[in-house]
A and B are shown apart, each in its own frame.
Chain A
């Protein structure tokens, strides 16, 4: 059976693509090229003195031990947030997929946090965990643990990881639930009749059939952790204490906008862009092979 429609000539397809290409060029390629150009310049904040310095911005970054530390922090942060939010969301989705009383309310409540803006989420969490005034922090202290995200880097990192995870669970939950509901009941029921336990059904039937969703969410979550957690970090820790919660994207903001060092900031965003493009490419190349569509 022939599925494809064949058009004669090449002008019509290109014409149809044109609006999309225009949008991509204006909103992605043009700003990206500006960033690449800026990363080769040394310029004061006002743009009065500009000189072309080739790769000096890059070489300075790679000579800076702090930059590697920020990369490490970002890596740890990414693995923790993506891992936690994916596994928790999957657990919640599998539970919600069962026929339980009040499933509608349960689902709605789980989706709510997604509607909260990252900065607001950050402020919410700060209110709970602020060492001297926060309700939760007082509880933790009452139990005899010392809790001080203002000075203790691990406490601060835990805090931003928790807030970022909480924020992302809803999104993942939504997709997992949709994925679960599209799995044919007959397959699962057949396995159940054959005597497969719920755990076995999950690992051998549900998860493989869910793999396209898992793959998609891994890609989206990595992008989320790299870029969208900025608001949470800015509201909660501003990258502190002593850079313990500074991720790559926060450093771009800090050096460029607050520090006025546009060249280095641009160089960092180019590196970040390459990293995320590379990471996504790797995911498509290697993980997608194991996905059964």
Chain B
């Protein structure tokens, strides 16, 4: 360890001597939660930024999964040595927002650092998730994705379905899943990962239905959950019915069940658009994706989808020149060429309008239409109060409670109605608890 530090120190010293004669570089710590190919993207972006100028050095460090990284950041803040930039998953947004004093809003940061910053340059469905109602950006969107429907084209052929026309509506999905089941996919006609993200959160936005009052919590922490509506109830009741003969088969709360698609077990699978890298690497069949299905009799459907993924939060209590470096780094990340690179290499969504337009006009999507599907969903219609996003405190536990209730319904322990009502009531209790903690 000592040797390593010494080595790093001497390299740094040598580098400083060679490149910048006068001022020492200011280090900016960036804690993130990305592994594999996505970790490479993070490292490359930091490298490119470091090479592009001499005053600042961004140092990325991997801190474990999303929850681990957030906890590491919180623990470091409590101990007085938080990183400058902390990557936080979207369900942690309300917690970070409520921690005034622990964070520095991005719009304030950019203004103080005197960086040119135009909020209108960004895609509103993406930045809206991380902004105040007035459109002031609180955290910087980094990796964003949305829910799409992946399907197995070979399986469609086998079942006598047209592989180039995937189902558009839920009734079509159910009918096709039954045919697929009859064609040999007997354990799973269709399924999904992220039980609540897909079946409650995205479902509500896509059908322009509220999840809770106060604009899904975006307008205040005194929000109340209201998603036990007839439309969602019908959807859950149908899933419960189809679970009985495995036309639908539950695949768990997180994305651990995604392998059921790539292994060929489930021919229709709803999950994140970020699943793309995995599908491309592991699926041994022709595949494609399509927008999420909807119920045609729900007025306004399909509306627009919402995002998942993570954003970069700037932690409070740092020096002004360090903040200047962070601001310059965010400007660098917003550059059209960087956003295009991020989008095309990692499959994450671009966050600026220019990057999207340029990718589109370059004909990139003709070759890889599956990378545009989530963007088409996000920009399908101008977002409404119900589809801007959601911001609930205690979101990790909320999702868990909702998953539990969905599981109770699917396993027949409760009726779908009872489960949905309990999901709302138990969730509201947690929301009140969060409200109490942040308002004291």
Chain A: residues with CB nearer than 8 A to chain B? Answer: 42-49, 51, 132-133, 150-153, 238, 240-243, 254-255, 257-261
Interfacial residues of chain B within 385-427, with CB under 8 A of chain A in the complex:
394, 396-397, 400, 403-405, 407-408, 410-411, 413
Are A42 and B440 interface neighbours, CB within 8 A? yes
Interfacial residues of chain B within 60-86, with CB under 8 A of chain A in the complex:
67, 71, 74, 77-78
Chain B CB count within 10 A is highest, among A45, A152, A258, for: A45
B250 in complex: contacting residue of A44, A150, A255, CB < 8 Å: A150
Are A240 and B403 interface neighbours, CB within 8 A? yes
Are A132 and B410 interface neighbours, CB within 8 A? no
Are A261 and B251 interface neighbours, CB within 8 A? no
Of B97-105, B129-137, B148-156, the one contacting chain A is B97-105
Dominant secondary structure at the A interface: loop
Q: What chain A residues lie within 8 Å of B243 (beta carbons)? A: 151
Give Cα distance in the complex from A238 to B407, angstroms.
14
User: Interface size of B by Cβ–Cβ distance < 8 Å?
Assistant: 40
Query: How many contacts between A and B, using CB within 8 angstroms?
Result: 83
Report the minimal beta-carbon distance from B415 to chain A, rounded to whole angstroms.
14
B263 in complex: contacting residue of A47, A133, A243, CB < 8 Å: A133
A150 in complex: contacting residue of B78, B252, B408, B438, CB < 8 Å: B252
Q: What chain B residues lie within 8 Å of A255 (beta carbons)? A: 397
Could you give 14 example pairs across A and B, Cβ below 8 Å? A43-B437, A46-B78, A46-B99, A47-B78, A48-B100, A49-B440, A132-B187, A132-B260, A150-B251, A150-B257, A238-B253, A243-B404, A258-B67, A261-B397
Additional A-B contact list (14), CB under 8 Å, known A45-B99, A150-B257: A47-B77, A48-B100, A48-B101, A132-B260, A150-B251, A151-B410, A240-B404, A242-B405, A242-B413, A257-B67, A258-B67, A260-B74, A260-B394, A261-B394
Report the minimal beta-carbon distance from B418 to chain A, rounded to whole angstroms.
13
Are A240 and B67 interface neighbours, CB within 8 A? no
Are B250 and A132 interface neighbours, CB within 8 A? no
Are B408 and A242 interface neighbours, CB within 8 A? yes
Q: What chain B residues lie within 8 Å of A132 (beta carbons)? A: 187-188, 259-260, 263, 265
B436 within 8 A of A: yes
Give Cα distance in the complex from A133 to B71, angstroms.
32
Give Cα distance in the complex from A152 to B250, angstroms.
11
B95 within 8 A of A: yes
A-B complex: 10 closest residue pairs judged by Cβ atoms:
A242-B404, A241-B407, A242-B407, A46-B99, A46-B102, A259-B397, A151-B411, A47-B78, A242-B408, A258-B396
Give Cα distance in the complex from A42 to B440, angstroms.
9
Chain B: residues with CB nearer than 8 A to chain A? Answer: 67, 71, 74, 77-78, 95, 98-102, 187-188, 243, 250-253, 257, 259-260, 263, 265, 394, 396-397, 400, 403-405, 407-408, 410-411, 413, 433, 436-438, 440
Give Cα distance in the complex from A43 to B67, angstroms.
19
Report the minimal beta-carbon distance from A144 to chain B, rounded to whole angstroms.
14
Q: What chain A residues lie within 8 Å of B260 (beta carbons)? A: 132-133
Are B407 and A151 interface neighbours, CB within 8 A? yes
Report the minimal beta-carbon distance from A201 to chain B, rounded to whole angstroms.
49
Give Cα distance in the complex from A105 to B387, angstroms.
64
Residue of B nearest to A241 (CB): B407
Residue of B nearest to A56 (CB): B436
Q: A48-B100, A153-B411, A257-B67 are in contact. Are A42 and B253 (CB under 8 A)?
A: no
Report the minimal beta-carbon distance from A52 to chain B, rounded to whole angstroms.
11
A46 in complex: contacting residue of B74, B188, B404, B410, CB < 8 Å: B74
Are B77 and A46 interface neighbours, CB within 8 A? yes
Give Cα distance in the complex from A257 to B417, angstroms.
31
Q: What chain A residues lie within 8 Å of B397 (beta carbons)? A: 254-255, 258-259, 261
Are A259 and B394 interface neighbours, CB within 8 A? yes
Are A49 and B438 interface neighbours, CB within 8 A? yes
Q: What chain B residues lie within 8 Å of A152 (beta carbons)? A: 411
Give Cα distance in the complex from A164 to B317, angstroms.
46
Q: What chain B residues lie within 8 Å of A151 (beta carbons)? A: 243, 250, 407, 410-411
Report the minimal beta-carbon distance from B179 to chain A, rounded to whole angstroms.
20
Report the minimal beta-carbon distance from A56 to chain B, rounded to whole angstroms.
10
Residue of A nearest to B436 (CB): A42
Are A45 and B95 interface neighbours, CB within 8 A? yes
Are B411 and A257 interface neighbours, CB within 8 A? no
Residue of A nearest to B411 (CB): A151
